[in-house]
Amino acid sequence: MFEETVEHRLRPIAAAFAESDLVRIRVADDAAEIELRRAVPNARAVAPGSGGEQTNRTYDVITAEVVGVLHFQRPPVEEGYSLDGDRELAQIEALGIRNPVRSRGAGRVACIYVAEGQPVDYGQPLFAIDRS
């Protein structure tokens, strides 16, 4: 139950927060409340290996470039998979055309934000790739 909450609700919020320039965000509903604070104004501004305060991991969030329906590449990648280079992870089907979604380099699939057959819109986080 807790894992599912983290998986489906916390991670997208965390990803959106990481992508933003916000320093604090609070999200609440009937069941739960969560507040995220940033230790440094913008984690993205911390260059890899420069020794950010919180973590020395760097993530790239791969987002949707087109509006469409997501289909994973077969066989589908799973969280924890290591990618040895630029790999096609999925396609977004729009107007009958399948637009490839690539990992843009090597890394570890740290998070998958979407499900097979899910509609996605522009800028929606799809995968987080750990480049460290």
Partner 1 sequence: MFRKILIANRGEIALRINRAAHELGVPTVAIFSEPDRTSLHVRHADEAFCVGPGPAARSYLNVANIISAALICGADAIHPGYGFLAENARFAQICIDHDLAFIGPPPATIASMGDKAEARRKMAEAGVPTTPGSEILRSLDDARAAARQIGYPVLLKATAGGGGKGMRVVDGEDDLPSAFATAQAEAEANFRDGRLYLERLVRKPRHIEVQVLGDRFGTIVHLGERDCSIQKPSHQKLIEEAPAPALSEPIREKLHATALAAARAVGYSNAGTLEFLVDGSEIYFMEMNTRIQVEHPITELIYGVDLVKEQIRIAAGEHLGFAQDDMSPHGYAIECRINAEDPANGFAPSAGTLVDVEFPGGPGVRVDTHIVAGSQIPPYYDSLLAKVVAVGRTRANAIARMERALSETRIEGVPTTIEICRDVLRSEAFRAGGVDVEFLPSRFIADRAVV
Q: Which residues of the shown chain bind partner 1 in the complex (CB under 8 A)?
A: 66-69, 94-95, 119, 121-124
**Cβ 12 to partner 1 shortest distance, Å:** 14
CB of 125 to partner 1, least distance (A): 12
Q: CA-to-CA distance for 32 and 36, rounded, in angstroms?
A: 13
- Residue 109's alpha-carbon distances to 25, 43, 120, in angstroms, are 25, 19, 19
Report the residue number, 65 or 130, with the smaller CB distance to partner 1: 65
Q: How many CA atoms lie within 13 A of 132 on its CB side?
A: 13
CB of 93 vs partner 1, minimal distance in Å: 9
